[in-house]
Structure 1
């Protein structure tokens, strides 16, 4: 990592670029444009809070990932959450309550976190939490959903609370999507897109990108289809293996460079769409952004994890504040030991170093 790399500036500039992109993407919708313009002011205040914290020697990431439920109504092939038993058919016991999630969201607002990605399971199975999130306009909540539960009630909620942005998971065309997610899911996604376009709701899509489908899901044909249906945000999520047997599907440096080049062209071609690559090029971000450097993950039980693909925790939000969780012993060890900066073959450095992560938890507990 370069000595002059400034993580806070890198992250905050990234947030500002997303906000600028959102303003451009919403120009055809006055109500959406007004909300994004107001949010831009809140975003500046959030950055101020983070800078003040940085000057005190505290680092506050601008993003959180919150899996608000472990329950899901689909059984997608190769699902990482089901693979590590973080996703189940019925609501698990001892998950965070609506009130506990609201407390976390309010704390996030107070310390300068401006984006909270809601995930699951299927997050729309916790409607009360979604409604409460909508009441905090200082935070944008992208909601990563399989898209099968969007009904009239949720459409009204999206119209009322513009900070709730549905992000629909799609695998490409109908054949690929239904093959992974189940027969008829693609059509449900198309129906949801058409309803949201009709109601001028800002929404996006999430595409899991592998070595095998990188070319297909970045084609003009595929993206034109999304664009024509009103999609304004595209998350390109690098595939993380659920086992070493599927590591051949994960990106290596060559694929990341290809995607990086493609993104330049896509952003020029689709000027009023936002393209976000996750986790993206770690070289330009000074290493992996997990474990509180750029974000961390809160599982449905309140466990603070480095990221959804590294499901290990030594701290629970039921017992500590959000600021304390950011500086959990595990997170501090991951940051201080430079494990997040290590080279790796592909996919996720924490996935490849999972035995080291487990050992850090053991060492932390032995020190208590």
Structure 2
């Protein structure tokens, strides 16, 4: 399997793009992790990877979307984004996840990639705006990998994403990228309506045949103003996905990414471990995309390194999340997240300004943390990579609950 995948990498993509992937993402990413570990030992903090929502607008209306895609357009302009990127570079960070809305609706997205050839960008996109011309530009840039979301069959895709001919347009975007030898990935937010269609070997084989080089299974999280809880997966279904991913990693010549487990199969939360945080289209610095509350912004006249080092809200979020679960605190204990927000006076970072009410209305539900069964990696390569570069960084060793240490909480909640 490893030799077959190596052959695919060498024959199915542009060699310059492969070098950019290996150096800008692989080598620099590994170095960013080592710098992160060193900072933690010194009592300092700066996430080794950043996810940035550069725009809120989108051409689709997905079920359960928590982004204000229909609100007045807000985007991070190139100069402001470049400042964030440069300050992250100073901390050794060169990888950025570009999110939306739909990122390719940002009029200057290609300029962002061109300005920072030393970085590597993963763009979460529905693929509808990736024409042949755009794909050719991505190949010229060389430092971009589109991660294109597929949410089911033709009928399911239209229903899930609130559009017409959604799957056909997405598949055309994938085709355009592969045709131009761009390193291309496909992701799925797995839910009740696409679990059987997309978590199977036939779908993996089809992606390999298409020329897709990596996959990513997310888990659907019912959030936002219209959460569709009927789509959420049961614990046994989440376990099914985990077992499928582990088995496919030793069988199929395609990389399969996951963001929720370490090499031993123990669940983790990338925001709780400090692996990554998120910047919203309004510049708010949030723990993760679904936690739409913040105390700090990229537009403050403060170096980004100082913001991350001194943010008590982000620190307390990490400690609170790690003290409660190895899974997702938003799903399992939305009440505690609300208390933390009240304690810090964290601002609602949405355009609709109803995030607090949405949080209070949530019913606790299971997340990826399965207390009965862990599924360790079977692949030595994934076990090695996770042991050294993707784990909990000690976040769960001695968690402290920040809500237990502040008498201000009761006072604030009473108000």
Shorter-chain TM range is 0.7 to 0.9
Aligned pair in 2 of structure 1 residues 148, 259: CA closer, same or farther (>3 Å)? same
Report deviation, 1:210: 2.0
Aligned pair in 2 of structure 1 residues 80, 35: CA closer, same or farther (>3 Å)? same
Which of 189, 214, 225 aligns to 2:206? It is 225
- The residue that corresponds to 2:239 in the other structure is 257
- The residue that corresponds to 1:33 in the other structure is 18
- The residue that corresponds to 1:215 in the other structure is 196
- Which blocks of at least 5 consecutive residues in structure 1 are unaligned? 1-19
Aligned pair in 2 of structure 1 residues 185, 142: CA closer, same or farther (>3 Å)? same
User: For the residues of structure 2 that align with 1:314 and 1:228, how far apart are their CA atoms?
Assistant: 46
Aligned pair in 2 of structure 1 residues 206, 363: CA closer, same or farther (>3 Å)? same
User: For the residues of structure 1 that align with 2:109 and 2:154, how far apart are their CA atoms?
Assistant: 31
User: For the residues of structure 2 that align with 1:312 and 1:340, how far apart are their CA atoms?
Assistant: 18
User: For the residues of structure 2 that align with 1:288 and 1:364, how far apart are their CA atoms?
Assistant: 21
- The residue that corresponds to 1:349 in the other structure is 329
User: For the residues of structure 2 that align with 1:311 and 1:27, how far apart are their CA atoms?
Assistant: 41
| Counterpart secondary structure, 2:294 | coil
| Counterpart secondary structure, 1:165 | strand
User: Which 4+ runs in 1 deviate beyond 6 A?
Assistant: 20-24
| Counterpart secondary structure, 2:51 | strand
- C-alpha contact (below 8 Å) 1:145/1:167 kept by paired residues: yes
Matched, 1:55 2:26: no
Report deviation, 1:65: 1.3
Aligned pair in 2 of structure 1 residues 156, 259: CA closer, same or farther (>3 Å)? same
Which of 221, 232, 237 aligns to 2:218? It is 237
Which of 59, 62, 82 aligns to 1:76? It is 62
Q: Deviations over 1:70-95 (max 9, x none)?
A: 111222233232xxxx3225413xx4
Q: After alignment, is 190-199 or 294-303 more displaced?
A: 190-199
- The residue that corresponds to 1:189 in the other structure is 170
- The residue that corresponds to 2:322 in the other structure is 340
**TM-score, reference length from structure 1:** 0.81
- The residue that corresponds to 1:125 in the other structure is 105
Report deviation, 1:331: 1.0
Aligned pair in 2 of structure 1 residues 123, 35: CA closer, same or farther (>3 Å)? same
User: For the residues of structure 2 that align with 1:245 and 1:298, how far apart are their CA atoms?
Assistant: 22
User: For the residues of structure 1 that align with 2:21 and 2:6, how far apart are their CA atoms?
Assistant: 6
| Structure possessing the higher radius of gyration over alpha carbons | 2
Q: After alignment, is 297-306 or 240-249 more displaced?
A: 240-249
Q: After alignment, is 225-234 or 324-333 more displaced?
A: 324-333
- C-alpha contact (below 8 Å) 2:259/2:270 kept by paired residues: no
Q: Deviations over 1:213-233 (max 9, x none)?
A: 333312122222222211112
Report deviation, 1:211: 4.4
User: For the residues of structure 2 that align with 1:195 and 1:142, how far apart are their CA atoms?
Assistant: 17
User: For the residues of structure 2 that align with 1:317 and 1:292, how far apart are their CA atoms?
Assistant: 22
Q: Deviations over 1:313-333 (max 9, x none)?
A: 111111133323434221111
**TM-score, reference length from structure 2:** 0.73
- C-alpha contact (below 8 Å) 1:23/1:33 kept by paired residues: no
Aligned pair in 2 of structure 1 residues 108, 25: CA closer, same or farther (>3 Å)? farther
| Counterpart secondary structure, 1:290 | coil
